[in-house]
Amino acid sequence: MILIVAEHADDRLKPISRELAVLGRELADDLGRTLTVAILARDPASLVEECRALGPDRIVTVAGDRLEPYDPDVWTAAVEALVSEDEPAFVLAGHTSTGYDFLPRVAARTGRPLVPACIEWQRHGERVVFTRPVFNAKMHMRVTPKGEGPCFVTAAPGAFPPREPDEAGSGPPQDGGEPRLDAFDVDLSGLPVRSKRIGRESAAAGALDLGSADIIVAGGRGIREKEHFGLIDDLAEALGGAVGASRPVVDSGWRPRDYQIGSSGQTVSPRLYVAVGISGAVQHLVGMQSSRCIVAINKDADAPIFKVAHYGIVDDLFSVVPEITRTVRALKGQSPPVGSAGSGRESD
Amino acid sequence: MSPGAAASGRDTLMKVIVCLRPVPDPASRLFVNEDRTWIKDAELSFVTNEADTHACEAALELCERVSASRSEAGEVVVLSIGRDRAARVLREGLAMGAARAIHLADDDFEGGDEYVRARMIARAVEKDGGADVLLTGVQSDDLGGGVTGVMAAELLGWAHASVVVGVNAVEAGLRARRELEGGLIETLELATPCVLTIQLGINQPRYATLRGIMAAKKKEMKTWSRGDLGMAAGDVGSEGALCQVTEVRVPERDHRVQMLSGSPAEAAARLVEKLRLEAKVI
Ligand SMILES: Cc1cc2nc3c(=O)[nH]c(=O)nc-3n(C[C@H](O)[C@H](O)[C@H](O)COP(=O)(O)OP(=O)(O)OC[C@H]3O[C@@H](n4cnc5c(N)ncnc54)[C@H](O)[C@@H]3O)c2cc1C
């Protein structure tokens, strides 16, 4: 059996749950196993309908007041109990702030292998080989879990995209009929409370909504200094687009938090995304890889951003970006605005 | 006195252990090694993993704040696994202001995965008499799994919070701000002892001063071997790992990318033409 631990919020499945179903179904079919989706919630019944659409062979519900709000100790205990009861071959969760928070605890408690941030898998004879990005995605590492017994996997968000609803073969299995529905009883009420959520807020309470932008020019750590970020502003202005940033730009205070694109920032899919001096870490790609056209400008030809780009220029951004801005302006008959950073840089 | 200190009979108010991992300088060009199981790292220069420098700063700030408010001393201990590289990052931690260092060094420690390192960290923490807080970086710039700290918490039997962007001592233990997806932050109250994995950007790590560097030379650095940790040869290194590395490879580039060459002006002109006429996005 393959066991998926579904993620949900506000009585809805999170998108990662659909991605886990893709990976889970692939593994189940290839290994000739069944697919079970586990719902851990205060009131799992409200999520059963949505879980049916994931096409599992079985849905198992675990109900308990302590399961929400999420507490890693409680989720660890529940999943560990499920695993020792059902003995699944693989247990899948998202490489998300929930999945990578509790699944490592279950793996360590049972002394069984964990593959974090899995992006791909293959069969090698009897064994399954998983691929995970290492060295900030500059390299890929293939690993084989050792020994017998359950193996734990967190799937990188975006790595197993669900098929569009209109494509053939998606949706619940037509022939397999209804998935079996089981309730799993485990007493979680006696667990000590070691961590307690006392608040929740949005860090990027600013007004910048990049989700609806048609064109985004995003700058990364390759810009090196706050003063140089005007290069990005200029190109964005010439293209009539918005400005975005990778996390280090925001962490360094060059731009406010609401400019950040990626897993802990905004998710965007503009018509055109220009990534300047951004390496293409998994957490950044998650936020922009569905953009229609991606341009990457980076001096490192091996930078992982080129894996998702449509057009790439391998060169120093400080020479290339002003040229692009100039070309676009010439094309559109614009003249550079007075005091733009492009002219500012000539003086340093 | 904190619960952890009371349990261990320590007299410091707060003891924080920080894990520092040496990783190849992120600017390095990387090549796969002969047997395709890792990179060629003998010639590379190694630095402290970026998130770990934030963890070290967070530990120092936490102890400074506690000391200032309750006029009792806090102690920051830095911990690292590996040979000379680890000793070097430990000296950096000492120069930043940590009080002492624990160096886990043994030929048997080569290779290994997050589980192996979490076990070694947990053993070392126990051998050192426990702590109130154990800090790691959110993830390393080499394996990047982001799970070692959480595993160590489980093996120690401690609570944890991952991806922490703010931390303060409170009466009940710690108050930590944890980062979720999409810019959401949750605030947690945690009982000590606990493990926190520290996110990038939580603080600005201090630079070591010349005085700090000089002082670091006189600070204590314990070196513990596999035997000192009471671990069997099969528990450490690649033998102790729960996953076997089958292959390390350079990712294939998606064939769809068109690389535009030429001088900056030529490449720019080509790009703009492609965007207009081929992709039709501008
Ligand atoms: C839990 C978690 C959540 C995260 N969330 C996010 C997120 O939401 N968004 C995000 O972006 N990151 C996020 N990160 C961080 C992420 O892992 C990377 O660290 C980050 O994306 C790297 O940003 P970067 O590409 O700008 O910097 P780097 O990785 O340092 O890359 C800089 C790039 O610039 C290039 N460069 C340097 N100089 C030049 C030059 N002169 N000309 C051309 N190119 C040059 C370099 O070759 C390099 O590729 C998160 C990490 C964690 C652990």
C-beta separation of B29 from A303 below 8 A: no
Q: Which residue of B has its CA nearest to A99?
A: B147
Determine the Cα–Cα distance for residues B37 and B33; give it in Å rounded to an integer: 7
Once rounded to an integer, what is the mean pLDDT over residues B251-256? Answer: 78
A135 contacts B144? CB cut-off 8 A: yes
Q: How many helices (H) and strands (E) does chain A have?
A: 9, 18
At A346, the pLDDT band (50, 70, 90 cuts) reads: very low
Report pLDDT for B182. 86
C-beta separation of B282 from B275 below 8 A: yes
Determine the Cα–Cα distance for residues A189 and A201; give it in Å rounded to an integer: 27
Residue B277 lies in a domain: no
The owner of tokens 């220069």 is B45
The alpha helices in chain A, defined as continuous H runs, are 15-31, 45-52, 72-86, 99-110, 230-239, 247-251, 282-285, 317-332, 341-345
Angle between helices B50-70 and B84-96 (to 10 degrees): 40
Residue B259 lies in a domain: no
Determine the Cα–Cα distance for residues A19 and B138; give it in Å rounded to an integer: 24
A136 contacts B160? CB cut-off 8 A: no
Residue B262 lies in a domain: no
Residue B170 lies in a domain: yes
Q: What is the dihedral of CA B64, B69, B75, B80, to 10 degrees?
A: -50
Report pLDDT for B172. 84
ipTM score above 0.90? yes
C-beta separation of B129 from A163 below 8 A: no
Determine the Cα–Cα distance for residues A64 and B3; give it in Å rounded to an integer: 30
Is residue A157 in contact with ligand 1, taking CB distance under 6 Å?
no
Q: Which two tokens stand for residue A200?
A: 């929740």
Any idea which fold A2-183 has? Rossmann fold (3.40.50)
C-beta separation of A120 from A97 below 8 A: no
Determine the Cα–Cα distance for residues B9 and A174; give it in Å rounded to an integer: 64
Determine the Cα–Cα distance for residues A131 and A79; give it in Å rounded to an integer: 24
A74-126 pLDDT, tens per residue? 999 999 999 999 999 999 999 999 999 999 999 999 999 999 999 999 999 98
pTM: 0.93
Q: What is the CATH number of the domain that holds B21?
A: 3.40.50.620
Determine the Cα–Cα distance for residues A268 and A245; give it in Å rounded to an integer: 12
Once rounded to an integer, what is the mean pLDDT over residues A164-169? Answer: 57
Which residue among B47, B200, B202 is best mutated to probe the pocket of ligand 1, counting the most ligand atoms within 8 A of its Cβ?
Answer: B200
Ligand 1 nearest atom to the CA of residue B163, by list position = 1
A198 contacts B188? CB cut-off 8 A: yes
- Angle ∠(A186,A192,A193) on CA atoms, nearest 5: 110
Which residue among A210, A231, A247 is best mutated to probe the pocket of ligand 1, counting the most ligand atoms within 8 A of its Cβ?
Answer: A247
Residue B135 lies in a domain: yes
Which residue in B242, B139, B116 sits closest to B104, CA to CA? B116
C-beta separation of B221 from B90 below 8 A: yes
| CATH 3.40.50.1220-classified regions of chain A | 210-332
| CATH 3.40.50.620-classified regions of chain A | 2-183
The number of folded domains in chain B is 1
The owner of tokens 């975005």 is A244
B180 by Cβ neighbours in 10 Å (0-12 / 13-18 / 19+) ranks as buried
Which residue in A262, A239, A234, A236 sits closest to A249, CA to CA? A262
For B71, residues 6+ apart whose C-beta sits below 8 A from its C-beta are none
Residue B22 lies in a domain: yes
Strands A139-145 and A127-134: antiparallel
Query: What's chain B's Rg over C-alpha atoms?
Result: 22
Which residue in B172, B75, B184, B174 sits closest to B131, CA to CA? B75
Report pLDDT for A342. 47
Which residue in A240, A231, A233 sits closest to A271, CA to CA? A240
- Angle ∠(A251,A256,A257) on CA atoms, nearest 5: 65
- Which protein residue's CA is at the shortest distance from atom 44 of ligand 1? A298
Q: What is the domain range of residue B130?
A: 3-240
Determine the Cα–Cα distance for residues B78 and B271; give it in Å rounded to an integer: 49
**At A165, which amino acid appears?**
P
C-beta separation of B190 from B174 below 8 A: yes
A8-23 pLDDT, tens per residue? 999 999 999 999 999 9
The owner of tokens 């905004």 is A266
A300-327 pLDDT, tens per residue? 998 999 999 999 999 999 999 999 999 9
Residues in chain B: 282
Q: Tell me the CA–centroid distance for residue A221 and ligand 1, in Å.
A: 6
B281 contacts A293? CB cut-off 8 A: yes
Whether cis (ω within 30° of 0) applies to the bond prior to A69 is yes
Number of CB atoms found within 10 A of residue A197's CB: 14
How many angstroms from the chain centroid is the CA of residue A86?
A: 28
The overall average pLDDT reported for chain A is 92
**Thinking of the domain A210-332, which architecture would CATH place it in?**
3-Layer(aba) Sandwich (3.40)
Residue B263 lies in a domain: no
Once rounded to an integer, what is the mean pLDDT over residues A38-55? Answer: 97
B157-185 pLDDT, tens per residue? 999 999 999 999 998 899 999 999 988 99
Once rounded to an integer, what is the mean pLDDT over residues A41-63? Answer: 97
**At B131, which amino acid appears?**
A
C-beta separation of B22 from B85 below 8 A: yes
Report pLDDT for A343. 42
- Which protein residue's CA is at the shortest distance from atom 50 of ligand 1? A283
